[in-house]
Structure 1
Amino acid sequence: MIPPVYEPLAYALSGLDFTQLPVCTQQYLQEAKLAPPRAPDVNVISAERLKISMALSSSLIKNDMALVELRLETVVMAGDLETGIPSQDDLQRDALAAQECRLQKLLGDVLPERELIFNAFMIRFDALVWVDQQGREHYTPEDWQRHRDELLKPILDNTSQQLVALDSAVIDG
């Protein structure tokens, strides 16, 4: 399975004061007790990043299962069509209608839900990058974008690997 690719928006919090941050970002930082005037050390930020990364993985489990289930149904249907199990025209039409239904579920429900899960994660992730900016005013917006991307890449890679592993276990197992 080739996992769906999540493309986050560009990092947009560079150089902003706390009061200029989006309200949802401010709320998260207050809930996490990371809002100014606190200046959390790097270990606190790293621990919170780990916490939200684990929450992301947990949130994606149901979505991953739905993606794998849709793929499995498609693989089974394709195999049935190939071997001629639904040999009658009506059965083939039913199989194609079922495939259309799966496609609608994928595009209308499963992938949009996945996007929402990632977007919610990115609000928190970018908030932590913003907290990390304190005391590093010499960084340019490009430096912060690069820093954020370096921190984010292994997390996104892990979510893709999690989906591929589940798919392999179900399809091959």
Structure 2
Amino acid sequence: YTTACAGQHLDLSLTSETTVSEDTYLRVASMKSASTIECACHIGALLATARQGSVDSFTLFGHNLGMASQIANDIQGINRGNDIIGRKITLPVVFALCHTEGEAHNQLDFAFNKQFEPMPDLTQTKDLLFTSGAIHYAMIKMEVFKQRALDILYELEKTGSNVERLRLFLE
């Protein structure tokens, strides 16, 4: 699983970009963040069962859990302000930059473009991310990944797998 390293490299190569597509962001999140949880679930499943179908399902569960966790982290980073201060391009930022126009778009572009000084106004930037629907969108996207993970656990449970503790990660 060198995927996480490749994802980190891709993320670093995009640090000066503010025009990152959602597909690119999700690919980076999948490679950099979700792949580590996916790997842990894959190894755990290999140790617990010889059924390839179950191993594949646990691996996919890990991917979806990892994606949901990354998006939750993105939302927290905006709420706390540290991702704004660090000018980090996260899912809410990608959404807002793609779905705003005019002055709102210019303010967000300024806030997250590392070439500009001074630092962005934290309160104003947070407000723009909330009013643009970016935080709401990220929450919905996170819930989609959580639901996919829950659906996988439901199917695994029908095959006799004990998934009770894994379900706790989705609460």
User: In which range does the TM-score fall when normalised by the shorter chain?
Assistant: 0.3 to 0.5
Greater RCO between the two (CA within 8 Å, min separation 6)?
A: 1
TM-score where L is the length of structure 2: 0.38
TM-score, reference length from structure 1: 0.37
**Greater Rg over alpha carbons, structure:** 1
